[in-house]
Chain A
Amino acid sequence: MAIKPPANRLWWNDPIHGVELGWIIIAFLWGLFMFFFMIAWHFIGEQNLSSETYRIRPEKYQEKVEAFAQQHQAKDQNGAPLEEKGVPVVRPPAGGDVYILARLWEFWPIIELKKGQSYRFHISSVDWQHGFSLQPTNINISVHPGYEHVINLTPTDTGTFGVICNEYCGIGHHTMTGRIRVVE
């Protein structure tokens, strides 16, 4: 019994049953497959989260985002800067950098992208930890203050996407959202 010392004192020499051995081999090979599939996806897959990261002071990161927003803010027909609810709408050039600022309690600014174009996303926080959850496409990435995370993203469909904070960040956590629009 499993609650008594092994009956055979030299239990290591007991034979292994065929059933057990077969299952061990299956489990081991499946584990190896899953392990090497993760490595293989770096070569055959298109969804590998970059680990490119820089240490940065939150104030400095905020300056970068503000400069980016000012430079690329969209204009309406009359040439006036475009805003929604006081938040600038920013149209970065295709293939260019996109800066997103997470803070209590919003993702700033609103970004407008072109479908099929690649962008270099920079994400960081100026206060607490946040979670960048792009919906409904369902991409979820952690955001840390003091760390600028650089991720390449190519939108594959058009529409209005929500960015929802999914790392608890205090009492206003459930009001923290952002917006990304993708156009043809």
Chain B
Amino acid sequence: MTDTKQGKDVQAAISERVPIMQRVLDNPFLLLFLGITVPAALYLIWGIMEVASVPIAE
């Protein structure tokens, strides 16, 4: 038991020092969120707004 407790402490110590960018890159679900919202906003939503804003010919 003490071993695993120590192990956990070491783990905690390491995870505290993990740089922020490494934590981002180690989190697939955060990346999944970014990888969907960025193109959805810049490409899809903006693109659909472009199409929707085409004026009607007189």
Does A touch B (CB under 8 Å) in the complex?
Answer: yes
Interface residues of A (CB under 8 A from B): 9-13, 53-56, 60-61, 147-148
Interface residues of B (CB under 8 A from A): 14, 17-19, 21-22, 25, 54-57
Across-interface contacts of A53 in B (CB, < 8 A):
54
A61 vs chain B, min Cβ distance (A)? 8
Pair B54/A10 contact, Cβ less than 8 Å: no
B52 vs chain A, min Cβ distance (A)? 10
Across-interface contacts of A56 in B (CB, < 8 A):
56-57
Q: In whole angstroms, what is the CA distance A12 to B19 when docked?
A: 7
Nearest neighbor of B20 in chain A, beta-carbon distance: A12
Pair B22/A10 contact, Cβ less than 8 Å: yes
Pair A13/B54 contact, Cβ less than 8 Å: no
Pair A60/B57 contact, Cβ less than 8 Å: yes
Nearest neighbor of A148 in chain B, beta-carbon distance: B57
Pair A10/B57 contact, Cβ less than 8 Å: no
Among A12, A55, A60, A147, chain B packs the most CB atoms within 10 A around the CB of A12
Q: In whole angstroms, what is the CA distance A61 to B58 when docked?
A: 11
Main secondary structure of the interface of A (DSSP, over half): mixed
Among B18, B54, B55, chain A packs the most CB atoms within 10 A around the CB of B54
Nearest neighbor of B18 in chain A, beta-carbon distance: A10
Across-interface contacts of A12 in B (CB, < 8 A):
18-19, 21-22, 25
Q: In whole angstroms, what is the CA distance A60 to B14 when docked?
A: 70
Across-interface contacts of A60 in B (CB, < 8 A):
57
A52 vs chain B, min Cβ distance (A)? 10
Across-interface contacts of B14 in A (CB, < 8 A):
9-10
Return the contact of B19 from the options A13, A55, A147, A148 (Cβ within 8 A). A13
- What are the nearest 4 A-B pairs in CB distance? A54-B57, A12-B22, A56-B57, A12-B19
A102 vs chain B, min Cβ distance (A)? 16
Nearest neighbor of A13 in chain B, beta-carbon distance: B19
Pair B55/A54 contact, Cβ less than 8 Å: yes
Across-interface contacts of A61 in B (CB, < 8 A):
57
Return the contact of A10 from the options B19, B25, B55, B56 (Cβ within 8 A). B19
Q: In whole angstroms, what is the CA distance A124 to B24 when docked?
A: 48
Across-interface contacts of B21 in A (CB, < 8 A):
12
Across-interface contacts of A13 in B (CB, < 8 A):
19
Among B14, B22, B25, chain A packs the most CB atoms within 10 A around the CB of B22
